[in-house]
């Protein structure tokens, strides 16, 4: 693939980063790849004319995650699952801890960042299917006192697809060091909303798209208001428990740790002599992301969730279309056509294959879920990126995506 096509794919995937059965593997040297190809999963729906009909390219996938560790420019570890009707592949590479050099934990947990938004959107769409939320109703009707009249009639659907025009809440700053200094602070979602709506709106509701966490912070509050449950409890009762996602959890408002086996996350810090420090960023309070980005999960759980979601077992079919409907508006930042939907993003690969998915980034962790609409190819990865919140897509992650969808 030429550089231009890689750039186009990376641009489509980077949103969300900047703002099956287990398989046993023999131990492998740090930095080497542990992988296994499997026959098609019996739980994957049959597809008459699949978007992707070839088996996963094991050689390309192994190459994409080869050589990871503290010496690698972009990542210390990676966990990957590729599935679909043509077969399955899963692999891991790198180290769980740079101090010990211990192999990456293939079934490890990780911060999934903005993949949280897919869970949030799914719960809102469930409530809409139950008649408890009207997607076309102004948000202030559900949440009086939140969105000012001067903003216009911001609807629930506009929060879901990021066309509300509500600006971001203030934070400690965009630089890593600024965020590092505030990494253990607890943030209240209601205070974030009040801070955001005290500003002027960015644009009239429904006229542009701007991907911002504040939309999903409001949706988290909406879920609590409508269900009478804490956001985390509602997602647990409606999605995690029914699907048996036992490795998925929320850290809670004051939590800073990833409980259970996990690969540690690191941020590369340049030194004056040209070398770099890999600073451990595993422990971090994520309450500033909350319903927009604080979930912790595993590749197995996210794969199961993706298959169930696309298969219509999480959101009823009539409401599921919201997740595959891109609003006909421009992106506020790029001016190009919008690509975000209610929780997902539309990605057109170089060969014309259309995939839908969501990326997420927390310091030390880049994550993605994705699939073709017909589930002929699915992908979940967690990459322990050394600049997970950087403006450009992580090179290892991009390589995984391209290898996963290679025909």
Cα 378 from Cα 369, distance rounded (Å): 8
Position 12 scores a pLDDT of 58
100-150 confidence digits (pLDDT tens): 999 999 999 999 999 999 999 999 999 999 999 999 999 999 999 999 999
CA distances from 366 to 206, 236, 311, 346 (A): 30, 23, 25, 18
Active site residue 114: yes
Backbone phi, then psi, for 54, in 5-degree steps? -95, 150
Which DSSP string do the residues of 82-104 spell out, in sequence order? Answer: EESTT-EEEEEEEEEETTTTEEP
Position 41 scores a pLDDT of 43
Position 406 scores a pLDDT of 82
φ/ψ bin of 402: left (φ > 0), alpha (ψ from -120 to 50), beta (otherwise): alpha
Cα 7 from Cα 19, distance rounded (Å): 19
Q: What's the mean pLDDT in 286-297?
A: 97
Averaged pLDDT of the chain: 91
Position 329 scores a pLDDT of 98
Q: Are 230 and 253 in contact (CB under 8 A)?
A: no
Cα 108 from Cα 285, distance rounded (Å): 19
Chain centroid, CA 63 distance in Å: 23
> Which one of the listed residues 19, 51, 93, 114 is annotated catalytic?
114
pLDDT above 70: percentage of residues in the chain? 88
pLDDT tier at 173 (50, 70, 90 boundaries)? confident
pLDDT above 90: percentage of residues in the chain? 85
pLDDT tier at 47 (50, 70, 90 boundaries)? very low
Position 247 scores a pLDDT of 98
Backbone phi, then psi, for 102, in 5-degree steps? -60, 140
- Report the predicted TM-score, pTM, of the whole model to 2 decimal places: 0.92
Token look-up 């740079």 returns 98
Check whether 54 has a pLDDT greater than 80.
yes
Higher pLDDT among residues 6 and 206, named by residue: 206
pLDDT tier at 350 (50, 70, 90 boundaries)? confident
The DSSP bridge pattern shows strands 378-385 and 365-372 to be: antiparallel
Position 5 scores a pLDDT of 47
77-89 confidence digits (pLDDT tens): 999 999 999 899 9
Check whether 42 has a pLDDT greater than 80.
no
Q: Are 6 and 351 in contact (CB under 8 A)?
A: no
221-244 confidence digits (pLDDT tens): 999 999 999 999 999 999 999 999
Position 14 scores a pLDDT of 59
Q: What's the mean pLDDT in 160-167?
A: 98
293-307 confidence digits (pLDDT tens): 999 999 999 999 999
Q: Are 323 and 343 in contact (CB under 8 A)?
A: yes
């Amino acid at each position: 693939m030429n550089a231009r096509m890689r750039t186009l794919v990376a641009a489509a995937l980077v949103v969300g980063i900047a703002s099956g059965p287990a398989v046993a593997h023999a131990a492998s040297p740090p930095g080497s790849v542990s992988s296994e190809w499997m026959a098609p999963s019996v739980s994957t729906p049959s597809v008459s004319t699949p978007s992707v009909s070839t088996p996963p390219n094991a050689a390309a996938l192994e190459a994409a995650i080869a050589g990871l560790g503290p010496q690698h420019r972009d990542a210390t570890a990676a966990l990957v699952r590729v599935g679909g009707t043509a077969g399955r592949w899963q692999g891991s590479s790198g180290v769980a801890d740079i101090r010990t050099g211990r192999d990456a934990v293939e079934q490890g947990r990780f911060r999934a960042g903005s993949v949280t938004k897919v869970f949030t959107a799914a719960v809102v769409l469930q409530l809409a299917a139950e008649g408890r939320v009207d997607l076309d109703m102004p948000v202030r009707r559900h949440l009086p006192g939140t969105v000012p009249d001067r903003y216009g009639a911001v609807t629930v659907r506009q929060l879901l697809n990021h066309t509300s025009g509500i600006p971001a809440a203030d934070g400690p700053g965009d630089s890593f060091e600024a965020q590092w200094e505030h990494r253990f602070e607890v943030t209240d979602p209601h205070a974030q909303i009040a801070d955001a709506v005290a500003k002027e709106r960015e644009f009239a509701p429904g006229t542009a798209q701007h991907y911002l966490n504040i939309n999903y912070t409001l949706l988290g509050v909406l879920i609590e208001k409508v269900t009478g449950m804490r956001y985390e409890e509602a997602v647990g009762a409606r999605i995690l428990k029914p699907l048996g996602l036992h490795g998925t959890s929320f850290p809670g408002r004051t939590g800073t740790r990833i409980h259970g086996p996990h690969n540690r996350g690191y941020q590369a810090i340049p030194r004056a002599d040209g070398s770099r420090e890999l600073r451990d960023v595993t422990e971090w309070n994520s309450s500033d992301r909350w319903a927009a980005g604080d979930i912790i999960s595993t590749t197995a759980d996210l794969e199961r969730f993706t298959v169930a979601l696309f298969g219509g077992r999480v959101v009823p079919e009539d409401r599921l279309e919201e997740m595959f409907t891109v609003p006909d508006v421009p992106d506020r930042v790029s001016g190009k056509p919008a690509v975000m939907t209610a929780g997902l993003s539309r990605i057109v690969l170089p060969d014309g294959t259309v995939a839908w998915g969501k990326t997420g980034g927390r310091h030390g962790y880049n994550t993605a879920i994705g699939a073709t609409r017909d589930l002929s190819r699915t992908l979940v990865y967690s990459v322990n990126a050394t600049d997970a919140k950087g403006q450009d897509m992580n090179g290892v992650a991009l390589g995984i995506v391209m290898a996963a969808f290679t025909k």
